[in-house]
């Protein structure tokens, strides 16, 4: 678990056509790579990545919740832990991300850690 692959992914746009419909991006989601995000996380797991930090560029900054479809698609293909990032705006956004397959969740300082932990515990999740 020492090696964490950070993946900025979004639904494909423009001319690119990936098999999964999710593509890896660079430059904070501004530049398309044409690389299928699901293929990339599977390959990373095969190469020894211990965790995936999955940041949905579609949800990032929206404060409307995590990209549950993307989390489910990645969880379906990899067994290593997934850290979901991008989109959280309220404590109620966190339990659905865990239900979708995330092992951990991140947010950008708009909520207190204690409030997020309390919400997850309320839904029966173990919190460290």
Top pLDDT among 95 and 20 is at 95
Q: What is the mean pLDDT of residues 10-23?
A: 78
d(CA 25, CA 30): 7
Asked if residue 79 lies in contact with residue 52, where contact means CB atoms within 8 angstroms, the answer is no
pLDDT confidence of residue 15? 62
∠ Cα 61 81 37 (to 5°): 60
Q: Supply the pTM of this predicted model.
A: 0.90
pLDDT tens digit string along 18-72?
788 899 999 888 888 889 999 999 999 999 999 999 999 999 989 999 999 999 9
Top pLDDT among 112 and 18 is at 112
């Amino acid at each position: 678990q020492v090696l964490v692959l950070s993946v900025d992914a979004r639904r494909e746009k423009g001319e690119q056509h990936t098999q999964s419909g999710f593509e890896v991006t660079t430059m904070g989601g501004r530049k398309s790579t044409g690389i299928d995000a699901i293929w990339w996380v599977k390959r990373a797991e095969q190469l020894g990545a211990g965790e995936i930090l999955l940041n949905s560029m579609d949800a990032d900054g929206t404060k409307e919740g995590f990209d549950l479809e993307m989390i489910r698609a990645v969880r379906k293909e990899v067994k290593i832990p997934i850290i979901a990032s991008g989109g959280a705006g309220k404590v109620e956004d966190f339990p659905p991300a865990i239900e979708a397959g995330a092992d951990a969740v991140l947010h950008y300082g708009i909520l207190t850690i204690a409030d997020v932990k309390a919400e997850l515990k309320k839904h029966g999740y173990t919190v460290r």
